[in-house]
Homo-oligomer: A and B are copies of this chain.
Amino acid sequence: MIIRSGRDAAYRQLADLLRAEITSGRIRPGQLLPYEKRLQQEYGVGRGTVRRALQVLREEGLVVTERGYSTRVRESQERERVAVPRGAVISIRMPTEAERVELGIEPGAVVPVAVVTVGGRVRGIYAGDRVELTTA
């Protein structure tokens, strides 16, 4: 139930409700969320509010939205282990558009990258949803 108040924005409340559906397992990875129009009707809010809420979940990396299709819960993926040499420096940040393309990160997915440098030289860039780094 969404209640209008200055304290808690409607889009945040909706995001909380949908997040609970996902983390509780009522909507499982790969499954579709209700369409935007359905969410509007079900929760009695405008489309902008629905879209804002979905955006929050996208930013958390919980869901992926495909235009003309729908929004679905992201599959949690097995992560490959990558060994990092001693003396390396690891930076964590969001990827540039070029890096997204390079790494094949889906549009709409919020995936951080790890940049491994040794002596100032970049040794590798890894997508956070596919890799774990281990120290040798």
Contacts and interface: CB of A to CB of B under 8 A. Distances in A.
Interface in A89-111: 89-94, 96, 110
Given A59-B110, A110-B59, A110-B110, A134 B88 contact: yes
A92 B113 contact: yes
A105 to B, nearest CB: 12
A124 interface: no
Contacts of A133: 89-90, 92
Contacts of A85: 135
B132 A89 contact: yes
Contacts of A114: 90, 92, 114
A87 interface: yes
A135 B132 contact: no
28 contacts: A59-B94, A59-B110, A61-B94, A81-B89, A84-B90, A86-B86, A86-B136, A87-B134, A87-B135, A88-B135, A90-B90, A90-B114, A90-B133, A90-B135, A91-B128, A92-B112, A92-B114, A92-B126, A92-B133, A93-B112, A93-B128, A93-B129, A94-B110, A94-B112, A112-B112, A112-B128, A135-B135, A135-B136
